[in-house]
Structure 1
């Protein structure tokens, strides 16, 4: 009993080293790639073929189809990708995930792993202590790569030879001769296995190892691999919870694409296996024979043939469905309809609702989208406040209430976005990304201050109307000039929230700030002169308070412009 428990924990430990190595390698590759992920994203907007190629490249780059699909769901949630584009990328990701399988099969089962893995870790170790960040990231990739194969070696060693346990072989054979039922059973095993380990690559490594050691035959292993294609969709589904309707549709499209592929394969499974065996350049003796002990040479080549099966299936599946992307999109739109209350419900932080993702660039892009939304809210608040100031009426209470709600929302947004950015800063980021986090924190703070200023001046406008206070005609004209100046300032900042503000526009921002200061001084002088001539003291003091809030909004706007100059 103790021996069995020991073997189970040894197997789990080996799997843990494998998964940890894959995670370290994937994180390192994402850091090395940096902004290139965003550049690749721009390429995918061209057509469906480009989207498939992009999905393949990103997955091959980060060595994780789950990371790619979660990234795609996040892009759709942030309105950076359409549903049809996302489906194409997911198709490419399915092909890209086969790269990991080939690496495992070619190196893990054809060479002595210890002769490769430990030297790779040895090369990576000094690099992670380098002062140059790119070298540290490269060191992380190499160490992750080495750990991945050490985990694979431990996995191989923890799986006992089937000859020592003939009773298990007999047990498995009871379920391998049931025709279609056997196929469905092992597809289910593959799906459950992937859901448990949360990595199709790790599940594939387990499958390949079991096949290589004779625990399962080629047909059974192939069925399990198909199930792993279904199981990997769970990660994207979990990432889509609480996101926009299109993001949820993207996750459903991923599931449908993979499940449809398994369905059509079920009808041609035996013939497809014969096809793979025939085109395989390796010795495949006994792969499709019933109750035949596979030769030693075939056992070594079985992982390669499984990789070939995996790759050819995903390429064919993509080729079949790439022509039906619009139809798949229409189907998932019907499958996941937009609820009537999703449009009218109170706005929530939707772009960062899924939490910190594995991709640093995606996290910062999500934050930018949220900040852009916050900027739109402050602009809307300013328009409502000006309407109340210039055209007061009995219905203004609803508008004041609306601005109050929006101001409370900006408070909430500042807190949530700041927390999110603080979590982002704990991740491994490039120097540019670290600076972007600091700049975005400053912008969020300034936007919240703008919202506070707007709410205060709408309260002054309400007070003015309720107490029947009227300004001098010249004062009303001065306020219109001032408010138009601030509208221009707010609009200028809004235009550059997605990118760096150029020097000429920053100069324009300084000019606007100078105009604000000059106008403030002139208007205060005008108010004092009117007071000296016997004007209403209450009205002029309220007027000066209004100018003061306008000035604060101008100061905050300049701070935002200066921050935008430093964003990358």
Structure 2
């Protein structure tokens, strides 16, 4: 018995590992496509549902999909209402795993499917073309998945050959609605334990195929799996912001409401599926099809019903998670400590991009703050200076957190293109941090000018104002380019801006040196030159950012 349990655990481990490898390979192949899919197919409720279904069908993991959705909400790439539609689609998309296992897993020789997939996949990973190589990885995962399922089939004892096992199950079956609740609880606990509805589904289908449980008992387990799978998204949201937590709660509400109405009509619904699905439900050759049909049609009907109540679901989720701004807490920012989450590095980069955009906007806000302080020498702006210094400290925290988060993302298997993107992001963060440091130096120079009562001619004040304009324009330009592909025309524009800034700095510096012939002007002009140098340095770093972004394919 002990060796049988070890064999079952080993088979499940192989199945789960195959699912992980396949999911990561598919993400590498379609990672950028998935992000484009989300951007273009969440404009209305129907398109959100379709995109969620397609995502889960491609990735073959509803847990991974819902974690991605929570991440996108946290990154403000999706609204709460859009995420609810995608979660509905994810619930429908995960039923394809049931159909794959039901149609292939128990109707064919699994070794005849698994070994060729692994063999072809291994050959593909030696190709230089990234898409082919990543496709090979997905194929290897697919083969390992079916190999694990094959071992699971052979490890679980057949009930006909072990009639003593039926006496154990007899205590839990045949008790009407009581049995439904028992197996529902088993399905919930099983999914929470394995953290994968696909693995829980494979276990359920194996138990059915071996005759351990009947169609109705397995259907109750499937309902439990629908509730248990929401735990993964809620764990993912623990390290996210308010909206991410609300999306996870919406996932729970969506599934628990569906399960509640299904439990009320459970007997009638299972009979309805029995009537519309070919073959008898108690015939083991057809039971798996009945179960897959039950899973798909239940989720489809639940979507048709609840899609009319998305605003209400969003309202309930918002009530369940209070806005932290009311609690006097800082706005949540990127978190990288997430050891309990599935690895979805290809998609997680979206959140890092959001935070880099946020840091870039902070640099421009700080520069505007410097100009405000510098041009108001007659006003005591000590509180504004403290605010700008606090912003620089916040930029340091952001830079550290984003860097750590990107390192966390690289712990997943990323494609070469995404690894190159991570490298560029890390260097962009460094340039943005330098710009924040330069701006802080400018603020300190403006503060010293105020404290030391350094007086500059009005023409010099106007010169700094005019010199700052192309730099501010440059900062707005790189903020814009962070959210799109940088073209050759963009680089030419950046070079022109940098040349304008550099030539202006040289001209203004020569004028300052000429004014220093008067000893009374030396200290004021030295401060003025320091300001020019720091502003020009910001232009240099801005050009570096554009050139780095141009390296992203």
1:114: which partner in 2?
A: 111
Deviation at 1:553, TM superposition (A): 1.2
> 1-side partners of 2:334 and 2:54: how far apart?
28
Q: Which of 18, 22, 27 is 1:21 aligned to? A: 18
Deviation at 1:93, TM superposition (A): 0.9
1:127: which partner in 2?
A: 124
2:334: which partner in 1?
A: 350
2:234: which partner in 1?
A: 237
Greater Cα offset, 72-81 or 482-491? 482-491
Task: Say if 2:343 and 2:412, in contact at 8 Å, map to a contact too.
Answer: no
2:206: which partner in 1?
A: 209
Task: Say if 2:230 and 2:252, in contact at 8 Å, map to a contact too.
Answer: yes
1:470: which partner in 2?
A: 455
Q: 1:351 to 1:375 in 2, by over 3 A?
A: farther
Q: 1:358 to 1:330 in 2, by over 3 A?
A: same
> 2-side partners of 1:425 and 1:352: how far apart?
11
Q: Which of 355, 371, 387 is 2:372 aligned to? A: 387
Greater Cα offset, 196-205 or 121-130? 121-130
Deviation at 1:433, TM superposition (A): 2.2
> 2-side partners of 1:498 and 1:354: how far apart?
26
> 2-side partners of 1:239 and 1:426: how far apart?
17
Deviation at 1:372, TM superposition (A): 0.5
Q: Which of 495, 498, 511 is 2:483 aligned to? A: 498
Q: 1:186 to 1:418 in 2, by over 3 A?
A: same
2:243: which partner in 1?
A: 246
How many corresponding residue pairs? 552
Check if 1:160 corresponds to 2:157.
Answer: yes
> 2-side partners of 1:322 and 1:468: how far apart?
66
Deviation at 1:281, TM superposition (A): 1.0
Greater Cα offset, 234-243 or 433-442? 433-442
2:302: which partner in 1?
A: 317
Q: Which of 406, 410, 413 is 2:398 aligned to? A: 413
Task: Say if 1:18 and 1:147, in contact at 8 Å, map to a contact too.
Answer: yes
1:49: which partner in 2?
A: 46
Gaps of 5+ in 2: none
**Normalised TM-score (structure 2):** 0.95
Deviation at 1:394, TM superposition (A): 6.0
Question: What value does the CA root-mean-square deviation take over the aligned residues?
Answer: 1.9
Task: Say if 2:31 and 2:347, in contact at 8 Å, map to a contact too.
Answer: no
Task: Say if 1:21 and 1:147, in contact at 8 Å, map to a contact too.
Answer: yes
> 2-side partners of 1:311 and 1:27: how far apart?
25
1:136: which partner in 2?
A: 133
Deviation at 1:173, TM superposition (A): 1.7
2:552: which partner in 1?
A: 567
1:516: which partner in 2?
A: 501
Q: Deviations over 1:170-220 (max 9, x none)?
A: 232222233322211211100100111111111111111111212112111
**Corresponding residue SS for 1:333:** helix
> 2-side partners of 1:116 and 1:480: how far apart?
71
Task: Say if 1:245 and 1:336, in contact at 8 Å, map to a contact too.
Answer: yes
Q: Which of 289, 303, 322 is 1:304 aligned to? A: 289
- How does 1:451-466 map onto structure 2 within 5 Å? 451-466=436-451
Check if 1:35 corresponds to 2:32.
Answer: yes
> 1-side partners of 2:240 and 2:203: how far apart?
33
Task: Say if 1:352 and 1:370, in contact at 8 Å, map to a contact too.
Answer: no
Deviation at 1:351, TM superposition (A): 6.8
Gaps of 5+ in 1: 288-297
Q: 1:314 to 1:414 in 2, by over 3 A?
A: same
Q: Which of 410, 422, 426 is 1:437 aligned to? A: 422
**Corresponding residue SS for 1:35:** helix
2:145: which partner in 1?
A: 148
Deviation at 1:409, TM superposition (A): 1.9
1:329: which partner in 2?
A: 314
> 2-side partners of 1:94 and 1:406: how far apart?
42
Q: Deviations over 1:489-536 (max 9, x none)?
A: 111111111112333332222122112111111112111221214442
- How does 1:537-548 map onto structure 2 within 5 Å? 537-548=522-533
Deviation at 1:168, TM superposition (A): 3.2
Q: Which of 371, 375, 382 is 1:397 aligned to? A: 382
> 1-side partners of 2:478 and 2:197: how far apart?
44
Task: Say if 1:78 and 1:351, in contact at 8 Å, map to a contact too.
Answer: no
**Normalised TM-score (structure 1):** 0.93
Task: Say if 1:240 and 1:354, in contact at 8 Å, map to a contact too.
Answer: no
Task: Say if 1:381 and 1:451, in contact at 8 Å, map to a contact too.
Answer: yes
1:368: which partner in 2?
A: 353
Q: 1:253 to 1:184 in 2, by over 3 A?
A: same
Q: Deviations over 1:371-419 (max 9, x none)?
A: 1000111111111111111103564222222222211222222222223
Q: Deviations over 1:17-61 (max 9, x none)?
A: 111111111111111113110221123223211111111111111
Task: Say if 1:351 and 1:370, in contact at 8 Å, map to a contact too.
Answer: no
> 1-side partners of 2:536 and 2:497: how far apart?
11
**Corresponding residue SS for 2:324:** coil
> 2-side partners of 1:348 and 1:83: how far apart?
16
Check if 1:483 corresponds to 2:468.
Answer: yes
Deviation at 1:110, TM superposition (A): 0.8
